[in-house]
Amino acid sequence: MREKNSQETLRRHAAQFSYVAPNIAVLIKHVPETENLKIDEKTGTVVRKGQNAIVNPMDLYAIEAALTVKDKNHKTDITVITMGPPNAERSLREALSMGCDNAVLISGREFAGSDTFATSLVLSRVIKGLKNYDLILCGERATDGDTGQVGPAVASFLDYPVITYVSNFKLNTNNSGEFIASVDRIVEEGIEHYEAELPVVLTISKAIGVPRIPTLSGKKRAKKAVIKNIGFNPELFGEDEVGLNGSPTRVIKLYRPKVKRNPLIIIPKNEEEIEAAADKLIDFLKNEAGIV
């Protein structure tokens, strides 16, 4: 009888909150600013050395989604994870200054040139070794690759369900007292609604809400925070699984499209020339463009 009453009390207590206090991992990427993006024409990979880099803008929405959960229950623990060069630590500290609790940097020369497949493999194996996360949140895509593949690929390697383009979500309990994610997903026709048991991977869209600005106290805490560094580990990865060797994607050719325009510019100086210019425009729309 005592055990039954205890379970009922737990369910009533959990039902008082829209959110529970899960362990959350947020996957972010340290990317070059858009105007500075350069591609190595030989390897087909992004040139990162010497470039000003920032938190991938789309990942800020994933951070905001995690922090919204934490706003409802301060016991929520958020770990932000990235794979990149040593200076990617700056993006992790920005996430910490926004309110995340822990940060993990996966870095090593062996990982250089990893495509989305190799990156997702590394992230999934590191995640397995860190903690049993209830929620894994990602931005819907990265501005330097624009594929949107890492979130779903990580879910595949972890054998977790995944819901993409999430516009809103909350955590509730079902009739059995088990936690579920109630998720809205943006599609071309409107909004789809899903419910998923934890753990689950969600890729977050801009519709989740405007990312918050780091506070002064958050910046001070982030500056002093210890970031966990993980390098290449032969027990976790084979050399043929990471970097260019572990990347099945190959860029065959890079080129810049050439756009040729032969405009006809008419500057009429009187009413007769205006009428003549209008006639030429109508003739062009009819005979060449086929619009009229």
Q: What is the pLDDT of residue 223?
A: 92
How many whole angstroms separate alpha carbon 81 and alpha carbon 88?
Answer: 10
Helix, strand or coil, per DSSP, at residue 148: coil
Nearest 5°: CA angle at 125, between 122 and 127?
105
> Helices then strands (H, E): number in the chain?
7, 11
Tokens read off for 234: 């032969």
φ, ψ for residue 77, nearest 5 deg: -110, 125
Are the CB atoms for 151 and 216 separated by under 8 Å? no
Please report the DSSP string for 182-235 in residue order: EEEEEETTEEEEEEEESSEEEEEPGGG-PPPPPPHHHHHHHHHPPPEEE---TT
| Average pLDDT, 10 consecutive residues per value, the chain (292 residues) | 45 42 90 64 56 84 93 88 91 94 92 88 92 92 83 94 93 77 90 91 93 92 93 86 83 73 79 86 78 65
The runs of H, that is alpha helices, within the chain are 2-15, 59-72, 89-98, 116-130, 150-158, 216-224, 271-287
How many whole angstroms separate alpha carbon 133 and alpha carbon 136?
Answer: 7
Q: What is the pLDDT of residue 246?
A: 82
With a CB cutoff of 8 Å and minimum separation 6, the contacts of 286 are 292
Strands 53-55 and 77-83, bridge-based pairing: unpaired
Are the CB atoms for 198 and 181 separated by under 8 Å? yes
| Residue extents of the structural domains in the chain | 2-230, 261-292
How many whole angstroms separate alpha carbon 150 and alpha carbon 138?
Answer: 8
Q: What is the pLDDT of residue 150?
A: 92
Longest dimension (CA), the chain: 99
With a CB cutoff of 8 Å and minimum separation 6, the contacts of 83 are 29, 105, 106, 107, 111, 114, 119, 122, 123
Strand partners, 138: 27, 203
Are the CB atoms for 203 and 162 separated by under 8 Å? yes
φ, ψ for residue 228, nearest 5 deg: -75, 125
The CATH homologous superfamily of the domain defined by 2-230:
HUPs (3.40.50.620)
